[in-house]
Structure 1
């Protein structure tokens, strides 16, 4: 094939395609009808108002349902109201900003040629002018109601974070409470049996089949002032595997019974409940951040952000076959903290 033919067959991109330019601009209804523009402004103000009311509602709910009383209903309602207030507050601001940009701000397309990242002084001055033009184009100066709604919504939105944070500054930060749980024994000095939750029925070793996982709590845990806190610390998973695959150091030989092992259900990463069990690998998984622990090897971490194994609860069986805790966990439960010691 000749060289001349090659040049004809392979034209340059610049010769093959013409710049189509910008399409014809179609004005919006609000661009031509002042009443439509005013209606859009009212809609934006309404969305900001939703954000304002949601934030205030979340804060009111935080004080109306104090979680310090350790009431399950209060905890549930406080979480629900505060979450809705925070979610709707942020959603209202976002939706208002989008609607504002689409209905009230300039929608003409503009083309800017590529240039070096650092322009000359004239270019930088022009950039500042463009920013000022953008502020003017938003129309916020001539729309005081819109400006007030925006300012109020932005000012109140952070309160959904700040109020609960400030409210917890006076909370009990005595982390030594994590060193001991209700598994240490009953008030009369007797053993603490393993029981189902919420039926509070004692469990026998024969009730747990191989390859199954059971969620348990201390039997007859007294419903006193700190009941929910003590229950949260003492939740346990009990799993039965083939005793021959358990990797137990000498000091833990008596902590399991016929392949039944018990570990804290509180993840050592950020305290989420470890609730998923994979029978083939004998791994338990925390659904929050996928920390994975090997039940056959002292619940050591095999994957994920957790840094420590799950604390083990030493268990035994009485003469009637019921499972009970020999003693408390071998170490503090839950995430690591600054005063923690093994």
Structure 2
């Protein structure tokens, strides 16, 4: 069929028949797609029956109350269920009971909260279709007054003031909503004021090899050697439950540097030699940025690198930061040698280990 055959010149004076209306040739040329308009408004049951509206209000309030129960239940689950407890579920295997309970409680809470909001909107909020023609955006007083009036009308249409049971239950749910987050954040750990200032290191505590559980001797540490060490007390039965927490603070790195490799001021050099044994020095293994374990040692430069964010510490210059986001030097542990030739601590760290915090000063 040619283009001429498809032109409107060959349209009849009217197109259509019974039940289809009439589309003239001129109208088809101007706007072939007619605006069908809005469908006829059909009132809902809740618009006609006050009892149905009251029933819907109670249903919405019930969903909000279920959300409250789920939020509060998550607090009890987090507190009462051990984080080491497990349950076996067919098809999933072993699942952490604490995580499962938290997920179910919070999942049902958010599901009920969302379902309540949707049910409220579909059954009780005004559903009349409104048409507003586009116009240039202006901030004149008339537009501002119109926006305020529309907002007030929207509040009235939503029934927020009309249905007090919904309003009260929703506000209560919103007040309870932040509690799980606050509860979980509160349990991240004790405040750093006391927790990071003290470790298991004390006068006479032996430096123990974490692999052999045997004390480190000065003769075992040669120039260029990097050794890990923990306090002897960490392996006592009293520390069984606190082993991981104490290890995260007390782990140290032991290196031996020649005297000619030391840098910095005379005061820094004197401190390092006073706190060392024939060039053997012990530094905290915990990065002062965010607490990652540092363990990448460059033997030639005496630099210690953190693998997380590449903070670099110069062990020959009092553990000073020379690169990366860390804000302060690696804390040094004062050590000496006992009568058996074993390395022991002189005292605890003289400054808090780990990341900087707001109460450090």
- For the aligned pair, the TM-score class normalised by the smaller chain equals 0.5 to 0.7
Q: Aligned residue for 1:3? A: none
Query: Structure 1 residue 191 and structure 2 residue 212: aligned?
Result: no
TM-score (norm 1): 0.56
| Counterpart among 51, 59, 68 of residue 67 in structure 2 | 51
Report the secondary structure of 2:284's partner residue. strand
Partner of 2:291: helix, strand, or coil? coil
Match of 1:275 among 293, 312, 323: 293
Once residues 158 and 68 of structure 2 are traced to their aligned partners in structure 1, the CA distance between those partners, rounded to angstroms, is 21
Change in CA separation of 1:258 and 1:100 when aligned onto 2, cut-off 3 Å = farther
Query: Which of residues 148, 153, 159 is equivalent to 1:133?
Result: 153
Query: Distance between the aligned counterparts of 2:36 and 2:152, measured in 1?
Result: 26
- Between 1:277-286 and 1:55-64, the stretch displaced more is 277-286
Contact 2:288 2:329 in 1 (8 A): yes
- Give me the whole-angstrom Cα distance separating, in 2, the residues matched to 1:329 and 1:99: 58
Q: Tell me if structure 2 keeps the 8 A contact 1:52–1:89.
A: no
- Between 1:231-240 and 1:39-48, the stretch displaced more is 39-48
Q: Deviations over 1:26-45 (max 9, x none)?
A: 99xx98787xx999999976
2:316 is aligned with 1:302: no
What runs of 5+ residues in structure 2 fail to find an aligned partner?
A: 1-30, 47-52, 86-95
Secondary structure of 1:294's counterpart equals strand
Q: 1:255 to 1:210 in 2, by over 3 A?
A: same
Q: Report the Cα distance in structure 2 between the residues aligned to 1:166 and 1:257, rounded to whole angstroms.
A: 45
Asked which structure has the greater CA Rg, the reply is 2
2:199 maps to 1:181 = yes
User: Alignment partner of 1:300: what SS?
Assistant: strand
Q: Secondary structure at the match of 1:153?
A: helix
Shift, 1:252, TM fit? 0.7
Distance 1:278 1:191, change over 3 A: closer
TM-score norm. by structure 2 comes to 0.54
2:221/2:255 contact within 8 Å kept: no
Measure how far apart 1:166 and its partner are: 9.5
Indicate if the aligned counterparts of 2:77 and 2:101 stay in contact, CA closer than 8 A. yes
Partner of 2:333, secondary structure, is coil
Residue correspondence of structure 1 range 1-342 to structure 2 within 5 A: 48-49=64-65, 51-61=67-77, 64=80, 91-92=110-111, 95-96=114-115, 99=118, 113-117=135-139, 119-120=140-141, 122-140=142-160, 146-160=166-180, 175=193, 179-185=197-203, 190-196=204-210, 201-202=213-214, 204=216, 214=228, 216-221=229-234, 222-224=236-238, 228=242, 231=246, 234-238=249-253, 247=263, 249-250=268-269, 251-253=271-273, 255=276, 261-265=282-286, 268=288, 272-275=290-293, 277-278=295-296, 282-284=304-306, 290=309, 292-296=311-315, 297=317, 298-300=319-321, 302-304=323-325, 306-315=326-335, 324-334=344-354, 335-338=356-359, 340=360
Distance 1:208 1:98 in 2: 70
Shift of 1:94: 7.2
Contact 1:285 1:293 in 2 (8 A): no
Q: Where does the alignment leave 5 or more consecutive residues of structure 1 unmatched?
A: 1-17, 66-70
Offset of 1:56 from its aligned partner? Answer: 1.0
Deviates more, 1:92-101 or 1:128-137: 92-101
Report the Cα distance in structure 2 between the residues aligned to 1:274 and 1:303, rounded to whole angstroms.
13
CA contact (8 A) 2:205 2:232 kept: no
**Residues 299 and 88 of structure 1: CA distance in aligned 2, closer, same or farther (over 3 Å):** farther
Contact 1:264 1:312 in 2 (8 A): no
Decide whether the 8 Å contact of 2:209 with 2:216 is kept in 1.
no
Cα deviation, residue 219, structure 1: 1.7
Q: Deviations over 1:77-103 (max 9, x none)?
A: 999699769965984587458746986
Sort the Cα spacing of 1:112 and 1:87 in 2 relative to 1 into closer, same or farther, 3 A.
farther
Aligned residues between the structures: 295
Deviation string 1:305-331 (CA, Å, 9 cap, x unpaired) is x53323222346678886543432132
CA RMSD across the alignment: 5.9
Residue 113 of structure 1 and its aligned partner are, at CA, apart by 3.5
